[in-house]
Structure 1
Amino acid sequence: MKYIPQEEFDDFLHSYKFLMEDASTEREKMLSEKADELEKNLKLSGVTGIEDRLQDGVPDTLCALREAGIQVWVLTGDKLETAQNIATSSGLFHPQRLLKVIENEADAEEASESAGLNIIMSPAAIRLAQEGNSYLIEALKKAKTVLCYRMTPSEKATMVNTVKKKIKGNVLAIGDGANDVPMIQAAHVGIGIAGKEGLQAAMACDFAIARFKFLSRLLLVHGHWSYYRLANTFLYFLYKNANAVFIIFYYQFFCGASGTNIVDPIWGVIYPIIFTSAQPVVVGVLDQDFDDKTLMSKPEKYVIGRENQLYRWKHFFIDVIDGIYQAAVIYYVTHLTLFASDASLWEMGFYIATSSILVNSGHLALQVRYWHWRLVALFCFFVFFQFGYFFTECLTVGANMIPDPPVWMPIHAMRDSRFWYSQVITVIVALCPRFTSMCLLNSLKPGQNNN
């Protein structure tokens, strides 16, 4: 407490009201400075303690995020002492890293020369970051963890935008109160915690969780699985489309580039939509390269997605080239098998269609890391569905009596041993390079994603 003369109080009140009416961006700073002038030489009359206990699992979660290579920031409106106490109790700061408090440009320049620091940023340093100070930006890029204190909700959102623009980082923001909503909405991914402070954060976010400790599973398990599944699914569709196009391309050398379709035109239209769409989608939903216990116990596995190790240009070209190579095998094995024979174009198309679904399914099967009976049943169903389609279509076409109807063509083709030999040879030769490379990589680098 402090006794203030009436004249001194009147001067303070007059200045404070004047600053409250100021509409400039410096108002908060000037109000804080004015309050500091008054809050001097105080006498302690009593102490009240309020404990804001951390949720269970917060230290373990922050430790796991650090081990995953994620840079952890804490933006709080509390004063420095409170913020430091929270950071210490939550295990925010890496115990083996130096702590650096940045208050001005000189501190930022000094911090930029070191890597892996635990950084505390004052309000003045926060403004330096928003202005794009090169030394401070460099220090923040190298930092292990960052603590910012005395921040308003709007300043939190501004800092998130600063990190997005200046540091070029992918930002995930998590909060549990209404004052965190601007920050959550400004981030690339916003996560709200539904708790005692209300549901505002949970209603304004991309994902809502009940406890902070669930963040580790959301990122390290579901985040990793999501990246792994999307990367493999996209690459498979690129491969499959290249494969289908180049089968037609190779045939053009033998049909005078007339544009003649080598396979049944109806099958050609529905093949990518029906015959080979469900399998990669199901694999993309259910496949797992590592189980959840492994991902939770080894947070460093998260680096696979964080550094985009599975979906780069080299993977794009490898899968497209593999699709082109397999298309050549599918076409030329069939071409050489039926060369100088009296086989019709319908029969040749049946050979190629069967080879396509067997090779495409085999290619996808080599990528699968988590097999179960439903997936096996799905693969087998579409292989048999392929034969069922041709039997049904040939009977229907024969009934309509179109010119050159392929009546009983599948039966005629499947009675010929050349059909089965060609399918076995096609599958082995087409998948041999990928299978061999995967075996070598799994031997040289076991425990990694080597699809």
Structure 2
Amino acid sequence: MIQEARLGIGIIGLEGAQAALAADYAIPRFRDLLRLCAVHGRYSLVRNASCIVVSFYKNFTLSFMQFIFAFYCGFSGLTFIDGWFLTFYNVMMTSIPPFFMGIFERDLPSEVLTHRPDLFTPLSHGLYFSCVVFLRWFLEAAFHACVIFYVIYPTMVNGDYNRQHNIYGIMVGSMSLFVLVSVVLGRFALQIRYWQLLQVLGITLSVIVVFAFFTIYSAFTRIGDQSTYWQSYILMSGAKFWLYQLLLFGSLIFIIDLTVLCFQKNLWPTPRDLAEREHLMLLESRRRKREPADQISNLGVV
């Protein structure tokens, strides 16, 4: 039975350790099976699914912007973002948060999951990873890419950056990538359900790496190519750069995505959302019960 199953779980017993040695996981007591499946199994699925969908999202967004630009360059294969920026987009700029999500993410506390085994059932129906979830992330990435491209590209092509510095495509691409990274990191922050120090550190470190890389890369010239020289300083010294960041980041993340998330949680809540709400209400009621006792103890001390 253990050899034919996708995942073998053995129980260490008095009859010997053969089953435990042949299994993928071994537990000392049968009652530990609940925690193994409902808690550890769920967390494993949540972490893997979160890491996969956000990784596809950030690549879909960048690729779709390149796809839109192909219509403007005659499908010549030209990229409007510098090659080094494209390389380090996945290597340095947006790789840390998905990595930490794949290690530390969890959707509900363990005490809720152990008392609500019924929450395990929706996982088999594709709550976190299915064709529908994958399609939703793809459409969201396409929408974000279209908004970023069609807000930045027309305004900068006919703007003062092109006339003053004559670095048409590269400047537009750098501005688009700056905004894209901000929007992607903001979407990561909305996806994270379990905030702790390393999750905050991952988002913060990504922002620092982006600005540091752009600044250092623009401070040097390459042999035969000076299109990116001093580019980040020109961009960040203008009001347009910060206006684009505020406008697009605020509108896409805090107005659109956050509004959709709030409507979903309140109008079409999932069993997970209801369990989370009940847990928060229980914690609030416990806190209120402790307050009078704390006040009485403080009066007694006085």
Query: Which category describes the TM-score, using the shorter chain as reference length?
Result: 0.7 to 0.9
Corresponding residue for 1:433?
256
Preserved contact between residue 54 and residue 98 of structure 2 (Cα < 8 Å):
yes
User: Residues of 2 paired with 1:370 and 1:435: CA distance?
Assistant: 17
Of residues 99, 108, 122, the one that matches 1:281 is: 99
Counterpart in 1 of 2:206? 382
CA contact 1:442–1:448 (8 Å) conserved in 2:
no
Query: Counterpart of 1:34?
Result: none
* 1:240 corresponds to 2:58: yes
Hey, what's the Cα distance between the residues in 2 that align with 1:447 and 1:378? 28
* Aligned 8 A contact 1:235 1:319 in 2: yes
Cα distance per residue 1:44-68 (max 9 Å; x no partner): xxxxxxxxxxxxxxxxxxxxxxxxx
Name the amino acid aligned to 2:228: P
| Counterpart contact for 1:233–1:280, Cα < 8 Å | yes
Aligned position for 1:214? 32
Name the residue aligned to 2:238.
Answer: 416
- Equivalent residue for 2:83, pick from 265, 269, 287: 265
TM-score by length of 2: 0.82
1:306 equivalenced with 2:129 (yes/no): no
Structure 1 unaligned spans of 5+: 1-182
> Which residues in structure 2 correspond to 1:70-109 (within 5 Å)?
none
Describe the shift of the 1:435–1:380 C-alpha distance in structure 2 as closer, same or farther (beyond 3 A). same
Equivalent of residue 360 in structure 1, options 157, 179, 184: 184
Q: CA shift at 1:445, angstroms?
A: 4.2
d(CA) in 2 for partners of 1:433, 1:317 = 18
* Aligned counterpart, 1:350: 174
d(CA) in 2 for partners of 1:309 and 1:405? 47
Find the aligned partners of 2:11 and 2:131 in 1 and give their Cα distance: 37
Q: Is 413-422 or 207-216 further displaced after alignment? A: 207-216
Equivalent residues, number: 266
Aligned equivalent of 1:192, options 2, 6, 10:
10
Q: Which has the larger radius of gyration?
A: 1
Aligned equivalents of 1:429 and 1:196: distance in 2? 62
Higher strand proportion: 1
Deviation at 1:258?
2.2
In the TM superposition, what is the alpha-carbon distance from 1:447 to its structure 2 partner?
A: 6.5
Matched with 2:48 is 230
Aligned-residue Cα RMSD (Å) equals: 1.9
Query: Helix, strand or coil for the counterpart of 2:3?
Result: helix
CA deviation after TM superposition for structure 1 residue 428, in Å:
2.7
Q: Which has the higher contact order (CA 8 A, sep 6+)?
A: 2
Amino acid at match of 2:265: N
Tell me the distance in 1 between the aligned counterparts of 2:270 and 2:76.
49
CA distance in 2, matches of 1:405, 1:395: 11
Check 1:403–1:241 CA distance in 2 against 1; reply closer, same or farther (3 A cut): closer
Superposition pairs for residues 33-72 of structure 1, below 5 Å? none
Does residue 1:251 correspond to 2:69, yes or no?
Answer: yes
Tell me how far apart the structure 2 counterparts of residues 220 and 394 of structure 1 sit (CA, whole Å): 50
Mean alpha-carbon deviation: is it higher for 381-390 or for 274-283? 274-283
CA distance in 1, matches of 2:66, 2:128: 29
How do 1:177-188 and structure 2 match up within 5 A?
183-188=1-6
SS at match of 2:26: strand
- CA deviation map 1:286-312 (0-9, x unaligned): 111100001011111111213322222
Q: Distance in 2 between matches of 1:388 and 1:335?
A: 24
User: What is the alpha-carbon distance in structure 2 between the residues aligned to residue 428 and residue 258 of structure 1?
Assistant: 34
Contact 2:157–2:172 (8 Å) recurs in 1: no
CA contact (8 A) 1:337 1:422 kept: no
Asked if the contact 1:275/1:382 (under 8 Å) is kept, the reply is yes
Distance 1:230 1:403, change over 3 A: closer
Contact 1:228 1:305 in 2 (8 A): no
**Shift in Å, 1:366:** 0.9
> Contact (CA 8 Å) 1:337, 1:418: kept in 2 or not?
no
Query: In the TM superposition, what whole-angstrom CA distance separates every residue of 1:335-358 from its partner, at most 9, and x where no partner exists?
Result: 133131233233222211111111
- Give the 3 Å change call, closer, same or farther, for CA 203–307 of structure 1 in structure 2: same
Percent sequence identity is 29
Distance 1:447 1:293 in 2: 19
SS at match of 1:192: strand
